[in-house]
């Protein structure tokens, strides 16, 4: 991707809000690759990394000329984040490392459970994700992902996101969040199993 961007003089917008929630290896920003910083706008957020969803605070790193233009847009559209949110974000960034590490380990345990439990359900296959708090399994039923999500909602009372919402190549996938308690995960996966066993 970086070579393609350089060869075609393209600007890359890189959404790296999950940069710290990595289970295998380490995150590498595309902006760190040769000739990429000057052509990359990198977006970060406290929402995912520090469990601050709804606080609406994040930041961008980009070359100076792009930052000047982004600053103009920001000033006229958003102005600024409330001061208490800025203080909370600063505390997370400066003092949140221990909590973040614990949260990532908790997500890792949930990920391992979810992948194993889903793989044990006939007609569902789940590769453990390398990062984030979402699994993206496939299913073997004769329907698209939107119908499958509706099926799970009706028959299992479990809400998932259809893979097709992420593009036509994901029409046999669904997204399942494991950013909830183990109790909820066990209950939800048990319901999915019951629904699948009725149709497989």
pLDDT in tens, 5-48: 999 999 999 999 999 999 988 999 999 999 999 999 999 999 98
Query: CA 28 from chain center: how many Å?
Result: 16
Q: What is the pLDDT of residues 94-131, one digit of tens each?
A: 998 899 999 999 999 999 999 999 999 999 999 999 99
Is residue 132 located within the same domain as residue 164?
yes
Domain of residue 146, CATH code: 3.90.1150.10
Average pLDDT over residues 66-76: 91
Res 134: pLDDT: 97
pTM score, whole prediction: 0.85
Q: Which of 53, 68, 95 is the last residue of a domain?
A: 95
Question: How many whole angstroms separate alpha carbon 54 and alpha carbon 81?
Answer: 12
Q: Which residue has the higher pLDDT, 150 or 25?
A: 150
Is residue 103 located within the same domain as residue 45?
no
- For residue 78, pLDDT over 90 is answered with no
Res 76: pLDDT: 86
Q: Which of 52, 74, 95 is the last residue of a domain?
A: 95
Question: How many whole angstroms separate alpha carbon 14 and alpha carbon 80?
Answer: 22
C-beta atoms surrounding 76 within 10 Å: 8
Q: What is the pLDDT of residues 139-148, one digit of tens each?
A: 999 999 999 9
How is residue 146 written in tokens? 């939107």
Domain that holds residue 78: 2-95
Is residue 64 located within the same domain as residue 111?
no
Is residue 28 located within the same domain as residue 71?
yes
- For residue 81, pLDDT over 90 is answered with no
Q: Which of 48, 71, 95 is the last residue of a domain?
A: 95
Of 132, 165, 131, the closest CA to residue 146 belongs to: 165
- For residue 189, pLDDT over 80 is answered with yes
Res 200: pLDDT: 84
Res 117: pLDDT: 98
**Alpha helices (H) in 39-165, listed in sequence order:** 46-49, 64-77, 83-95, 97-119, 145-151
Question: How many whole angstroms separate alpha carbon 48 and alpha carbon 70?
Answer: 22
Res 196: pLDDT: 97
Label residue 116 left, alpha or beta by phi (over 0 means left) and psi (-120 to 50 means alpha): alpha
- For residue 79, pLDDT over 80 is answered with no
Q: Which residue has the higher pLDDT, 77 or 161?
A: 161
Percentage of the chain surpassing pLDDT 70?
Answer: 100
């Amino acid at each position: 991707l970086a070579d393609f961007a350089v060869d075609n003089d393209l600007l890359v917008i890189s959404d790296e809000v999950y940069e710290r929630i990595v289970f295998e290896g380490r995150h590498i920003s595309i902006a760190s690759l040769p000739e990429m910083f000057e052509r990359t706008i990198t977006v970060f957020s406290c929402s995912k990394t520090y469990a601050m969803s709804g606080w609406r605070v994040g930041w961008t790193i980009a070359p100076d000329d792009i930052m000047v233009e982004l600053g103009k847009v920001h000033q006229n559209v958003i102005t600024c984040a409330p001061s208490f949110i800025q203080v909370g974000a600063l505390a997370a960034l400066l003092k949140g490392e221990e909590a973040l590490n614990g949260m990532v380990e908790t997500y890792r345990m949930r990920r391992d459970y979810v992948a194993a439990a889903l793989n044990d359900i006939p007609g569902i296959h789940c590769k453990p994700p390398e990062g984030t708090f979402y699994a993206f399994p496939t299913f073997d039923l004769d329907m698209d992902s939107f119908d499958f999500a509706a099926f799970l909602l009706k028959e299992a009372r479990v809400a998932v996101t259809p893979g097709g919402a992420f593009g036509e190549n994901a029409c046999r996938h669904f997204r399942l969040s494991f950013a909830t308690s183990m109790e909820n995960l066990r209950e939800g996966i048990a319901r999915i199993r019951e629904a699948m066993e009725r149709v497989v």
